[in-house]
């Protein structure tokens, strides 16, 4: 893993030093571009907040002169600030980013703002084309780890009601609720209490959809909101950043296919679902979608029951989650090394199969559609059996230190040509083939 992090934060540098490294928001895109195009660096992102300034990068060949970049960006001699700088590489860089996103490296452990700030830095980096493959995968996973930490621990909990916890969780996802829009499905007491908390925290717009439209109108008027007929729910709910649902419906009303459409129409801007209904209104599979955050009533009750004095214990739990996630991420990256070889093997054997069919087609004579299908199925079956052992061996070897040797051996046996490893998408899956 060719990841690097260099920076200063509240633990290593006083405010006057952090001020020297701070990058104004208006200059962040330009600085991020500089990082990504600096010699030896393939991808980059910069996080600049009041408590930390960090350069996160992936190098081309495992080497990156991060201090040289600081010299170029700030026109300083990094040696003057050496006592304040920290630098992480490879596994420790991954661990650091997971801890930062999870607010384990914050001045107040568990505070919600840092996740939003890292996401904003990520959005800036993507906008200028500075993040593409492995760094993209690292950051995407960091957000998932942060989500898991906040779901599986009570590290940031101090609220005392379901409604107030709902608002606090929304703030953890978005950093701030100022100007955010909320869509409330249902018009019961809990929905009204939650609406009051959302308004108190500065949300910009409240939509209300209820089975009885007139009741929805009355509810919306209390908060200067907008009532929506329930039959227009699916075509309008994606207007909101936050959806709070409590309908009493016997089955889920929001499913994974709905979430996919919402994200598409929102151009993948995140949505946060708070499901306080029993039975649940939101299918748990919605949580599998990147960009959709779902919390149900049990999640909220666990937070309510937690206490601030438990924060140290919860922080230890969170650290254990991070450590486990680092190992999983490393394993996934090692698996990526075998993906191009698997794809090459598939393409090579498919080419052989098609060539042999074409070569024998004249001798076979005219075939009926059923015969064509039989020949196709037969030859594909043979190829799949041939591929099974080398592909299984490659996937198993990906978890072991000798993976490079096995990859090279398979490529030599089948005379495969090299393919670029960056053919993989950010999730670590090949663009085609069974490794997907």
Rounded to whole angstroms, the Cα distance separating 205 from 45 reads: 32
Q: Give 233 or 412, the one with higher predicted confidence.
A: 233
Question: 321-325, 368-372, 430-434 — which is least confidently predicted?
Answer: 430-434
* Region for 186 from its dihedrals, namely left if φ exceeds 0, alpha if ψ lies in -120 to 50, beta otherwise: left
Q: Report yes or no: 326 and 95 within 8 Å, Cβ to Cβ.
A: yes
Q: Give 302 or 253, the one with higher predicted confidence.
A: 253
Three-state SS annotation for the chain = CCEEEEEEECCCCCHHHHHHHCCCHHHHHHHHHHHHCCCCEEEEEEEECCCEEEEEEEECCCCCCHHHHHHHHHCCCHHHHHHHCEEEEHHHHHHHHHHHHCCCCCCCCCCCHHHHHHHHHHHHHHHCCCCCCHHHHHHHHHHHHHHHHHHHCCCCCCCCCHHHHHHHHHHHHHCCCCCCEEEEECCCHHHHHHHHHHHHCCCCEEEEEECCHHHHHHHHHHCCCEEEEHHHHHHHHHHCCEEEECCCCCCCCECHHHHHHHHHHCCCCCEEEEECCCCCCECHHHHHCCCEEEEEHHHHHHHHHCCHHHHHHHHHHHHHHHHHHHHHHHHHHHHHCCHHHHHHHHHHHHHHHHHHHHHHHHHHCCCCHHHHHHHHHHHHHHHHHHHHHHHHHHHHHCCCCCHHHHHHHHHHHHCCCCCCHHHECCCCCECCCCCC
Under CATH, domain 162-304 is a member of which superfamily?
NAD(P)-binding Rossmann-like Domain (3.40.50.720)
DSSP β-ladder status, 86-89 and 41-48: unpaired
Q: What pLDDT, on a 0 to 100 scale, did the predictor assign at position 429?
A: 39
Give the residue among 138, 76, 132 at the shortest CA–CA distance from 101.
Answer: 138
Each residue's pLDDT tens digit, 216-238:
999 999 999 999 999 999 999 99
Q: What pLDDT, on a 0 to 100 scale, did the predictor assign at position 428?
A: 43
Q: Is the pLDDT of residue 399 over 80?
A: no
Q: Report yes or no: 433 and 342 within 8 Å, Cβ to Cβ.
A: yes
Cis ω before 422 (30° cut-off from 0): no
Each residue's pLDDT tens digit, 182-203:
999 998 877 888 899 899 889 9
Structure tokens, 226:
């907008």
* Domain(s) of CATH 3.30.460.30: residues in the chain: 3-152
Helix axes 134-152, 113-127, angle to 10 degrees: 160
* Domain(s) of CATH 3.40.50.720: residues in the chain: 162-304
As annotated, the active-site residues are 50
Each residue's pLDDT tens digit, 338-365:
777 888 888 889 999 998 888 888 787 8
Each residue's pLDDT tens digit, 152-161:
887 766 544 5
pTM beyond 0.75: no
The CATH classification number of 3-152 equals 3.30.460.30
| Mean pLDDT of the chain, nearest integer | 85
CA separation, residue 271 to residues 1, 121, 147, 183, 295 (Å): 31, 19, 13, 11, 12
């Amino acid at each position: 893993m060719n990841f690097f992090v260099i920076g200063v934060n509240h633990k290593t540098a006083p405010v006057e030093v952090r001020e020297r490294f701070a990058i104004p928001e208006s200059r962040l895109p330009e600085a991020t571009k500089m990082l990504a195009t600096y010699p030896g660096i393939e991808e980059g992102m910069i996080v600049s907040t009041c408590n930390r300034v960090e350069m996160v990068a992936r190098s081309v060949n495992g080497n990156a002169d991060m201090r040289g970049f600081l010299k170029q960006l700030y026109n300083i001699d990094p040696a003057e600030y050496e006592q304040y700088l920290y630098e992480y590489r490879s596994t420790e860089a991954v661990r650091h980013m997971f801890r930062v996103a999870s607010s384990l490296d914050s001045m107040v452990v568990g505070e919600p703002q840092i996740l939003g700030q890292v996401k904003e830095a990520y959005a800036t980096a993507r906008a200028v084309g500075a993040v593409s493959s492995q760094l993209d995968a690292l950051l995407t996973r960091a957000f998932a780890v942060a989500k898991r930490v906040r779901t599986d621990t009570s590290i940031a909990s101090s609220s005392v009601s379901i409604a107030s916890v709902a608002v606090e969780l929304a703030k953890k996802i978005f950093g701030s609720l100022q100007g955010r829009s909320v869509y409330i499905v249902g018009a019961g007491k809990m929905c009204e209490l939650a609406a009051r908390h959302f308004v108190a925290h500065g949300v910009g717009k409240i939509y209300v959809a209820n089975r009885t439209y007139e009741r929805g109108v009355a509810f919306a008027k209390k908060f200067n909101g907008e009532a929506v007929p329930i039959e227009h729910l699916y075509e309008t709910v994606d207007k909101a950043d936050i959806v709070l649902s409590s309908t009493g419906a016997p089955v889920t009303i929001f499913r994974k296919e709905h979430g996919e459409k919402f994200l598409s129409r929102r151009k993948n801007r995140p949505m946060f679902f708070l499901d306080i209904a029993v039975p649940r209104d939101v299918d748990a599979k919605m949580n599998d979608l990147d960009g959709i955050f779902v919390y149900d009533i049990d999640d909220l009750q666990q937070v309510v029951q937690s206490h601030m004095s438990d924060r140290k214990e919860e922080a230890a739990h969170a650290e254990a989650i991070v450590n486990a996630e680092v190992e999983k991420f490393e394993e996934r990256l090692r698996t990526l090394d075998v993906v191009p070889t698997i794809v090459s093997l598939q393409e090579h054997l498919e080419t052989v199969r098609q060539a042999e069919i074409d070569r024998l087609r004249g001798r076979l004579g005219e075939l009926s559609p059923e015969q064509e299908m039989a020949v196709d199925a037969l030859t594909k079956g043979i190829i799949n059996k041939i591929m099974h052992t080398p592909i299984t061996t490659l996937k198993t070897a990906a978890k072991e230190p000798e993976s490079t040797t096995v990859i090279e051996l398979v490529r030599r046996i089948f005379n495969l040509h090299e393919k670029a490893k960056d053919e993989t998408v950010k999730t670590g899956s090949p663009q085609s083939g069974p490794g997907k």
